[in-house]
Amino acid sequence: MSSTRRPTSRSVRRTAVAATSAALAGVLLAACGSGGGSGSGTTGSGPVHIKVWAWYPQFKQVVAEFNRTHKDVQVDWVQAGVGQDEYTKLKTALKAGQGAPDVVMLEFQELPTIQLTKGLLDMGKYGANADKGNYVSWAWSQASDGDHVYAIPVDGGPMAMMYRADLFKKYNLKVPTTWAEYKEEAAKLHKADPSAYMTDFGSDETAAGWRQGLAWQAGSRPYTYSASKLPDIGVKLNDDNAKKVYEYWGDLVKNKLVDTASYATTDFYNGLSTGKYATYIAAGWGPGYLSSVAAKTSGKWRVAPLPQWTAGAGAQGDWGGSSFSVTSQTKHPKEATEVARELFGTSQAAWKIGIDQAYLFPLSNPILNGAYFKSKKYDFFGGQQINSVFVPAANGISTFDWSPFQDYAYNTDTSEVGKALQGQNAWSSVNDNVQQQVTSYASKQGFKVSK
């Protein structure tokens, strides 16, 4: 047959058909392969599956506990990322219109940002307001706007001072109760041992919340913001209180009384575990953190309240803490709200795991003020009941608003602090520079900024 001797229109056509079918098959396969990627689960009979993104340590057990006790709602947990990585994925998924989970773990400072994208469901419509009394008021006010509830608080980071009791004894230091005393003890320490520091000053992005928490304690309230009052926003990052804090620490840095290693790097851990740092200005989640990065210093640390600006004042600040929100992409708002409210909520069982194994600091009133938590002894702190310091701190924190462009504000702050560290700028100008850049940014973004 002549068809085998030379290429004919038929053979070309045949090839074309074969290729097209292959391509079509490929596309179909692709479409099928995407199943189950996003959003909520099954409809119809059977439990409703709610997808949760979170990065809490030991969270698997908490999820198991929830699934055990809730038969009509089941949690599917995925760790989509830690911190910023998770927020990036969330923001991209929200922009794309699909791919976001039902319930997502959000730190408090990130809430207004996500809420502004209209990415959060108002859980108030699904009964979440009933939980108001269950949580410390400052956390609830950050998680809600009047009757609109955008998040259910989970854990917090009230600040306190952890110190090496053995080093204090060795160098004859007394536990400072004011920042002035803190500076004096720092000078004493450095004189006795120039290679030791009172603590590490958090100069990097990770420590932006640390710096903000200290300014919080000093009375700074940089933002006045409420989603229901858009586009108005008040921005005052350079009030006297904030300046006081930055100039204080700048002074300590200049006198080499504190180190400037980036937080959450191996050098920082090394400083904590080798006695390079005599104190660690920490948050309520600090104990777990410290006991894992500085495991070999177990028994040597103690916890004392944060030094005050005015003796006896009792002002507090918070660093970090997170909550559960429901995204606007959920197809099961009722069940998702239930999950957000009850994964931790006031559940004793969940919080036992949270407190004992994940070292989370509860913001849920019955747990926070309950006997178990308050009287718990921590071996790492030589058996001290550290929560007798942390709980009053948590209860003593007053309200504080975050901005809906917190990432930008934190980055700008880190940048300016970096410049001050290098000696490019004076410490006293850091807050002014940040104020100027942030207000300019906010105006460009369409806010009506009042200073």
> Please, which of residues 273-312 interact with other proteins by CB under 8 A?
273-274, 285, 287-293, 295-296
Minimum CB–partner distance for residue 111 and other proteins (Å): 14
Count of residues that bind other proteins according to CB under 8 A: 89
Which residues ranging from 426 to 445 are in contact with other proteins (CB under 8 A)? 444-445
Measured from the CB of residue 36, what is the shortest distance to other proteins in angstroms? 9
Give min distance, CB of 203 to other proteins, in A. 5
The residue from 28, 64, 96, 192 that contacts other proteins (CB under 8 A) is 96
Q: Which of 165/207 has CB closer to other proteins?
A: 207
Read off the DSSP letter of residue 45: S
42-71 binders of other proteins (CB under 8 A): 53, 55, 57-58
H-helix segments, 219-306: 240-254, 266-273, 286-293
Residue 192 or 295 with smaller CB distance to other proteins: 295
Alpha helices in 278-421 (DSSP H): 286-293, 333-342, 348-356, 365-368, 371-375, 387-395, 406-421
396 CB-near residues (< 8 Å, 6+ apart): 158, 314, 315, 316
HSE-CB at 158 with a 13 A cutoff on CA atoms is 28
Q: Which of 151, 147, 79 is nearest to 402 (CA)?
A: 151
> Nearest approach, Cβ of 92 to other proteins (angstroms)?
6
HSE-up (13 A, CA, CB side) for residue 366: 12
Measured CA to CA, the distance from residue 399 to residue 417 in angstroms comes to 26
- Point out which span in 97-105, 122-130, 234-242, 348-356 binds other proteins (CB under 8 A): 97-105
218 contacts 245 by C-beta, under 8 angstroms: yes
Min dist CB 180 to other proteins, Å, is: 27
C-alpha distances (whole Å) from 250 to each of 106, 254, 256, 257, 372 are: 31, 6, 10, 10, 40
140 or 402: CB nearest other proteins: 402
Helix (H, G, I), strand (E, B) or coil at 231: coil
Residue from 129, 415, 425, 429 in contact with other proteins (CB under 8 A): 415
Distance CA 427, CA 416 (A): 9
Residues 4 to 23 in contact with other proteins, rule: CB under 8 A: 4-9, 11-12, 15-16, 19, 23
> Least separation, in Å, of the C-beta of 116 and other proteins?
6
Least spacing, CB of residue 389 vs other proteins, in Å: 18
Report the run of H or E that residue 152 belongs to, with start and end.
strand 152-158
| Contacts (CB under 8 A) with other proteins, residues 201-260 | 203-206, 230-231
CA 103 vs CA 40, 52, 413: distances in Å: 10, 5, 30
Tell me the closest approach of the beta carbon of residue 189 to other proteins, in angstroms. Answer: 19
Residue 199 binds other proteins, judged by CB under 8 A: no
Q: How far is the CB of 27 from other proteins (least distance, A)?
A: 9
Question: How far apart are the C-alpha atoms of 148 and 379, rounded to whole Å?
Answer: 42
Q: Binding other proteins by CB under 8 A: which of 21, 42, 69, 98?
A: 98
- When the beta carbons of 128 and 272 are compared against other proteins, the nearer one is 272
354-413 residues in contact with other proteins (CB under 8 A) are 357-359, 404-405, 407-408, 411
Instruction: For other proteins, give the closer residue by CB, 90 or 173.
Output: 90
Residues 308-347 interacting with other proteins (rule: CB under 8 A)? none
Angle at 55 between CA 386 and CA 203, to 5 degrees: 65
| 91: contact with other proteins by CB under 8 A | yes
CB of 65 to other proteins, least distance (A): 18
Bridge-based pairing state of the strands 279-282 and 48-53: unpaired
Whichever of 78 and 192 has its CB closer to other proteins, that residue is 78
Decide: 250 and 270 in contact? Cβ < 8 Å. no
Q: Between residues 36 and 312, which has the closer beta carbon with respect to other proteins?
A: 36
